[in-house]
Chains A and B, each alone.
Chain A
Amino acid sequence: MSRVLIKGARCYGEGDPVDVLIADGVIAEIGSPEAAGDTEVIDARGQVLLPGFVDLHTHLREPGREDTETVESGSAAAALGGYTAVFAMANTDPVADNAVVVEHVWRRGRETGLVDVHPVGAVTVGLAGERLAELGTMARSEAGVRIFSDDGHCVADPLLMRRALEYSTSLGVLVAQHAEEPRLTVGAQAHEGERAARFGYTGWPASAEESIVARDCILARHAGARLHVCHVSTTGTVDVLSWAKERGTRVSAEVTPHHLLLTDERLATYDPVNKVNPPLRADADVERMRQALADGVLDCVATDHAPHAVQDKDCEWAAARPGMLGLQTALSIVVRTMVEPGLLDWRGVARVMSERPAEIAGLPDQGRPLAEGEPANVVLVDPEAGWTVRGTELASIAANTPYEGMRLPAVVSATLLRGRITSREGKID
């Protein structure tokens, strides 16, 4: 197996620059190792070495919408974004609600080999919210599904959610909820508030998220189950999560990069590239998301990377599909919103983008310390560099980035998966 020597990087952006030798898929030596003959050397002066990122929430669109993303193109986007593991949501076509589909996605991930692709299984058959999918079969399949979610849809029926949570405890798996009370969001297009009122968009009220999160925290506690809350977007949800965590509920939560940066001010563009579910919220919510991520009430960042075809975005707002690309921009947005204002240091970035998500998902070889003998799933970041986002230049087939033309800080200069370079200097290796 090839050897890589990373020269002059600072682990977690702390201490003196060190040389890190990676061999046989593990971190072999940290300090001043010698480069042997066939060792690939990366000049990493001024750069930060972090454990590879783990995304609990991504849409790879395969099978079904290969015109917008495939496991291959999405894996490339992930590697370029510094990810070494991603969880592919179940709302494909056909839905990943059975062992055949999850094994297909898992196998395509292995074939591509740029990032560990872990399929998420659906909680209910066809995401219809009516009866449980075969969670056990999917968990025991070759794909080894460990997270289940109807993401895109809420498991709204409280009895079904209760059963799912109870059942999950026997499998040691995690239910991740897309918290949206559907009766409160009929026809919803945008965050219910002053701006939606002005632009005439049907409001998506904060209460639709908060009421489900509160309910599910209570259900999880009674079931003795773990619960994960997808894409938290409101101040009230943070309050509910604080309360639940204080009383010992085993709940974890993620926030997306876009909910850390963008607000419903974007409605003024009329451009559905800014349409996403849950919607972009008010300024105060964004502020609270950042604070809660710093405090740990929100455990991690997850992209909700959602590729969409041009025709599904270049239309009137109500007809557009919700979602935005996120894998390649996530780190830069976290740096802009969390590192630059001093809310997180690089060790904090490692926590919210790698360690906590790996822990939540139960991945034994991800989010590990940068220490000798640990698996070499790492990312090298140039904190001083910047780049300008161009949707068409991203690795995804779709180009629906809300950051088009924006100059963002921090560049992923290399990603290594089990010691193999998967991306380097913005190119797939």
Chain B
Amino acid sequence: MRHLLTTDGLDLADATAVLDTADELKRTLLGREVRKLPTLRGRTVITMFYESSTRTRVSFELAGKWMSADVVNVSAGGSSVGKGESLRDTALTLAAAGADCVIVRHPASGAAHRLAGWLAEAGTSVVNAGDGTHQHPTQALLDAATLRERLGDLAGRRIAIVGDVLHSRVARSNVHLLATLGAEVVLVAPPTLLPAGVAGWPVTVSHELDAELPAVDAVMMLRVQAERMHGSYFPSAREYSISYGLSEARLRLLPEHAVVLHPGPMLRGMEIASAVADAPQAAITEQVRNGVHVRMAVLYHLLAGEEEGRGS
């Protein structure tokens, strides 16, 4: 892999390799007092966040640091971006300064792909940490890692993705990755929160959460952003919660082995009941934990030379 920009077109071999490496790294680090591998010593990783983020940025930063890379964080607010510098110039500047890998989050769909194009000559790898409403591939990979831990092989498993699919890069990334891994995906959302053209996706679509829950192995709840509340996508937060929220009653509709995921940050009481978020079925903190290992694995596959062994 040269870049990780999207799960759309990420082949089974590459996806599996990343997930297997993440497992291996997790096992390696388990119980270690010093969580530091020398794998990426001398490599420079720059995170470039044009949107606020806590978990993703921290997760990437830790992933780099635990592998001994030099990690530098750039945020749009405190840099020349605030002075009106273009994305292209910022990217070229960071590459010229010596970045081996740029991890970018940007509000514009396609921004990571553009960056990869501009940095082709410099040879810098690009990781998409979320671009607009397009893709967030490491989120899908960490979701898959979490599901594999709980459910084993995902082939033939049925996963419901519930909520604001229209505006969700998490949903788009998961739809493609889960399809590649052989899982069936059902999207559950009001018609207003499904993109026109969803018919072409490798999914089924439903507007009835209750009808879907008994048959799924996992349910992935999407965050409802505050700005959607006033966009007439649904009449009220209350009605949304009643129709599409994962309540305690709905938790009981799920099979016993089913897993509940949420990419965070959660709106407790809105898309997910507080008790559900803390229930044993919920794997939300595991998602965060796996996030670091998955991102380590991604950096490993992008940056570690062939001659270097796995990080143990």
Q: Which residues of A does B touch, CB under 8 Å?
A: 189, 192-203, 205, 270-271, 311, 314-319
Partner-contacting stretch, out of B72-80, B104-112, B251-259: B104-112
- Find residues 107-142 in chain B having any chain A CB closer than 8 Å to their own CB: 107-111, 113-114, 117, 131-135
**Could you tell me the distance between the alpha carbons of A314 and B8 in the complex, rounded to whole angstroms?**
24
- For the complex formed, measure the closest distance between the CB of A125 and the CB atoms of chain B, giving whole angstroms: 30
- B110, A199: Cβ atoms under 8 Å? yes
Contact of A315 with B195 at beta-carbon distance under 8 Å, contacts A200-B132, A200-B133 already known? no
- For the complex formed, measure the closest distance between the CB of A198 and the CB atoms of chain B, giving whole angstroms: 7
- A315, B135: Cβ atoms under 8 Å? no
**B106 contact set on A, CB distance < 8 A:** 316
- A197, B197: Cβ atoms under 8 Å? yes
Nearest to B134 among chain A residues (CB) is: A200
**B114 contact set on A, CB distance < 8 A:** 270-271, 315-317
**Could you tell me the distance between the alpha carbons of A91 and B96 in the complex, rounded to whole angstroms?**
39
- Which of B88, B110, B172 has a CB less than 8 Å from the CB of A314? B88
- A192, B88: Cβ atoms under 8 Å? no
Partner-contacting stretch, out of B52-60, B198-206, B207-215, B304-312: B198-206
**Could you tell me the distance between the alpha carbons of A189 and B131 in the complex, rounded to whole angstroms?**
14
- For the complex formed, measure the closest distance between the CB of A104 and the CB atoms of chain B, giving whole angstroms: 31
**B88 contact set on A, CB distance < 8 A:** 314-315
Judge if B87 is at the interface, Cβ distance under 8 Å.
yes
Contact of A197 with B110 at beta-carbon distance under 8 Å, contacts A316-B87, A318-B132 already known? no
Sample 11 A-B pairs with CB under 8 A, ordered by A number: A192-B197, A194-B200, A197-B196, A200-B109, A200-B135, A201-B133, A203-B197, A270-B110, A316-B111, A318-B108, A319-B108
Judge if B93 is at the interface, Cβ distance under 8 Å.
no
**A318 contact set on B, CB distance < 8 A:** 107-110, 132
Q: A197-B195, A271-B114 are in contact. List 19 more A-B contacts (CB 8 A).
A: A193-B196, A193-B197, A194-B199, A195-B197, A197-B198, A197-B200, A198-B172, A198-B197, A200-B135, A200-B169, A201-B134, A203-B195, A270-B113, A315-B87, A316-B87, A316-B111, A316-B114, A317-B110, A317-B114
**A314 contact set on B, CB distance < 8 A:** 86, 88
- B197, A196: Cβ atoms under 8 Å? yes
Max count, chain A CB within 10 A of own CB: residue among B106, B108, B200: B108
Q: Which residues of B does A touch, CB under 8 Å?
A: 8, 86-88, 106-111, 113-114, 117, 131-135, 169, 172, 195-201
**Could you tell me the distance between the alpha carbons of A231 and B80 in the complex, rounded to whole angstroms?**
39
- B172, A200: Cβ atoms under 8 Å? yes
Contact of A316 with B198 at beta-carbon distance under 8 Å, contacts A200-B133, A270-B114, A270-B117 already known? no
- For the complex formed, measure the closest distance between the CB of A170 and the CB atoms of chain B, giving whole angstroms: 41
Nearest to A311 among chain B residues (CB) is: B86
- Which of B108, B135, B195, B196 has a CB less than 8 Å from the CB of A317? B108
- For the complex formed, measure the closest distance between the CB of A133 and the CB atoms of chain B, giving whole angstroms: 33
- For the complex formed, measure the closest distance between the CB of A60 and the CB atoms of chain B, giving whole angstroms: 26
Max count, chain A CB within 10 A of own CB: residue among B88, B114, B172: B114
**A189 contact set on B, CB distance < 8 A:** 109
- For the complex formed, measure the closest distance between the CB of A277 and the CB atoms of chain B, giving whole angstroms: 17
- B195, A196: Cβ atoms under 8 Å? yes
**Could you tell me the distance between the alpha carbons of A316 and B104 in the complex, rounded to whole angstroms?**
13
Nearest to B116 among chain A residues (CB) is: A270
Nearest to B5 among chain A residues (CB) is: A270
- For the complex formed, measure the closest distance between the CB of B174 and the CB atoms of chain A, giving whole angstroms: 13
- A199, B109: Cβ atoms under 8 Å? yes
- For the complex formed, measure the closest distance between the CB of A192 and the CB atoms of chain B, giving whole angstroms: 5
**B195 contact set on A, CB distance < 8 A:** 196-197, 203
**A316 contact set on B, CB distance < 8 A:** 87, 106, 108, 110-111, 114
**B201 contact set on A, CB distance < 8 A:** 197-198
**Could you tell me the distance between the alpha carbons of A428 and B252 in the complex, rounded to whole angstroms?**
77
Max count, chain B CB within 10 A of own CB: residue among A199, A315, A319: A199
Nearest to A190 among chain B residues (CB) is: B109
**Could you tell me the distance between the alpha carbons of A380 and B7 in the complex, rounded to whole angstroms?**
51
**Could you tell me the distance between the alpha carbons of A316 and B107 in the complex, rounded to whole angstroms?**
10
**Could you tell me the distance between the alpha carbons of A205 and B8 in the complex, rounded to whole angstroms?**
24
- For the complex formed, measure the closest distance between the CB of A269 and the CB atoms of chain B, giving whole angstroms: 9
- For the complex formed, measure the closest distance between the CB of A273 and the CB atoms of chain B, giving whole angstroms: 12
Nearest to B199 among chain A residues (CB) is: A194
- A201, B109: Cβ atoms under 8 Å? yes
**Could you tell me the distance between the alpha carbons of A202 and B198 in the complex, rounded to whole angstroms?**
13
**Could you tell me the distance between the alpha carbons of A196 and B132 in the complex, rounded to whole angstroms?**
12
**Could you tell me the distance between the alpha carbons of A209 and B107 in the complex, rounded to whole angstroms?**
27
- For the complex formed, measure the closest distance between the CB of A400 and the CB atoms of chain B, giving whole angstroms: 15
**Could you tell me the distance between the alpha carbons of A318 and B133 in the complex, rounded to whole angstroms?**
11
**B117 contact set on A, CB distance < 8 A:** 270-271
**Could you tell me the distance between the alpha carbons of A301 and B197 in the complex, rounded to whole angstroms?**
29
Nearest to B196 among chain A residues (CB) is: A192
**A195 contact set on B, CB distance < 8 A:** 197
